[in-house]
Amino acid sequence: LTPSQFREEGKKIIDWIADYYEKIESYPVLSQVKPGEIKAGLPENPPQKGEPFEHIIRDLDEKIMPGITHWQSPNFYAYFPSNTSFPSILGDLVSSGLGVQGMIWATSPAATELETRVLDWLAEMMDMPEKFRSTSTGGGVIQDTASTSALTAVIAARERATKFRSNKTGVREMLVAYVSSQTHSSLEKAIKMAGIGSENLRLVEVDEQFSMRPDLLHELIREDKKKGFHPFFVCATIGTTSSNAIDPVRKIGEICKEENCWLHVDAAMSGTAMLCPEFRYLKDGVELADSYSFNPHKWMFVNFDCNVFWVANREELISTFSILPEYLRNKATESGEVFDYRDWHVQLGRRFRSLKLWFVIRHYGVEGLQFHIRKHVEIAQNFTRWVKDSNEFEMVVEPALNLVCFRHKAGDDFNMALMNAVNETGKAFFTHTKLNGQVVLRMSIGQTYTEEEHVKQTWNLIQKTAGRMTQG
Ligand code: PLP
Give pLDDT, residue 122: 98
Instruction: Indicate whether 324 pLDDT > 90.
Output: no
Q: How far is it, in rounded angstroms, from Cα 415 to Cα 423?
A: 12
Which of ligand 1's atoms lies nearest the C-alpha of 241? 5
Which pLDDT band, with edges at 50, 70 and 90, does 472 fall under? confident
Average pLDDT, stretch 222-243?
Answer: 98
Give pLDDT, residue 246: 98
CA dihedral 313, 314, 319, 321 (to 10 degrees): 130
Kindly state if the Cβ of 295 falls inside 6 Å of ligand 1.
yes
Average pLDDT, stretch 382-387?
Answer: 98
- Reference 401, options 286, 304, 252, 274; nearest CA is 274
Which of ligand 1's atoms lies nearest the C-alpha of 270? 3
Give pLDDT, residue 364: 98
CA of 268 to the centre of ligand 1 (A): 5
Give pLDDT, residue 469: 95
Kindly state if the Cβ of 144 falls inside 6 Å of ligand 1.
no
CA of 136 to the centre of ligand 1 (A): 28
Q: How far is it, in rounded angstroms, from Cα 407 to Cα 433?
A: 11
CA of 472 to the centre of ligand 1 (A): 39
CA atoms within 13 A on the CB side of 238: 29
CA of 150 to the centre of ligand 1 (A): 10
- φ/ψ of residue 307, rounded to 5: -115, 140
Instruction: Indicate whether 84 pLDDT > 90.
Output: yes
Q: Which of 100-114, 318-332, 383-397 has the lowest mean pLDDT?
A: 318-332
CA of 326 to the centre of ligand 1 (A): 36
Kindly state if the Cβ of 312 falls inside 6 Å of ligand 1.
no
- φ/ψ of residue 204, rounded to 5: -85, 135
User: Reduced to 3 states, what is the DSSP secondary structure of residue 325?
Assistant: coil
Which of ligand 1's atoms lies nearest the C-alpha of 144? 15
Express each pLDDT in 30-55 by its tens digit: 999 999 999 999 999 999 999 999 99
Query: By alpha-carbon position, which residue is closest to atom 5 of ligand 1?
Result: 241
Which of ligand 1's atoms lies nearest the C-alpha of 240? 3
Say if CB 420 and CB 413 are below 8 A apart: no
Query: By alpha-carbon position, which residue is closest to atom 8 of ligand 1?
Result: 241
For every residue of 411-463, DSSP letters joined together read -HHHHHHHHHHHHHTTS-B-EEEEETTEEEEEEE---TT--HHHHHHHHHHHH
ipTM exceeding 0.95? yes
Q: How far is it, in rounded angstroms, from Cα 35 to Cα 127?
A: 46
Say if CB 270 and CB 282 are below 8 A apart: yes
Tell me whether residue 1 is exposed, middle or buried, using C-beta atoms within 10 angstroms of its C-beta: 0 to 12, 13 to 18, 19 or more.
exposed
Express each pLDDT in 54-66 by its tens digit: 999 999 999 999 9
Q: How far is it, in rounded angstroms, from Cα 296 to Cα 305?
A: 8
Ligand 1 site-directed mutation target among 154, 186, 187, 191, most atoms within 8 Å of CB: 186
C-alpha to C-alpha distances, 127 to 4, 271, 323, 442, nearest whole angstrom: 46, 12, 33, 30
Average pLDDT, stretch 427-446?
Answer: 97
Mean of per-residue pLDDT scores for the chain: 97
Kindly state if the Cβ of 269 falls inside 6 Å of ligand 1.
yes
C-alpha to C-alpha distances, 23 to 86, 183, 224, nearest whole angstrom: 15, 37, 57
CA of 272 to the centre of ligand 1 (A): 13
For every residue of 352-411, DSSP letters joined together read -THHHHHHHHHHHHHHHHHHHHHHHHHHHHHHHHHHHH-SSEEESS--SSSEEEEEETT-
DSSP state of 311: E
Express each pLDDT in 332-342 by its tens digit: 999 999 999 99
Ligand 1 site-directed mutation target among 147, 302, 345, most atoms within 8 Å of CB: 147
Kindly state if the Cβ of 147 falls inside 6 Å of ligand 1.
yes
Q: How far is it, in rounded angstroms, from Cα 139 to Cα 395?
A: 40
Q: Which of 151-160, 237-246, 318-327 has the lowest mean pLDDT?
A: 318-327
Would you kindly state where each structural domain of the chain is located, as residue ranges? 100-351
CATH number assigned to the domain covering 100-351: 3.40.640.10
Q: Which residues pair with 435 in a beta bridge?
A: 438
What angle (nearest 5°) sits at the alpha carbon of residue 435, between those of residues 456 and 154? 110
Which pLDDT band, with edges at 50, 70 and 90, does 471 fall under? confident
Kindly state if the Cβ of 146 falls inside 6 Å of ligand 1.
yes
CA of 282 to the centre of ligand 1 (A): 18
Kindly state if the Cβ of 145 falls inside 6 Å of ligand 1.
yes
- Reference 187, options 160, 222, 159, 155; nearest CA is 155
CA of 293 to the centre of ligand 1 (A): 10
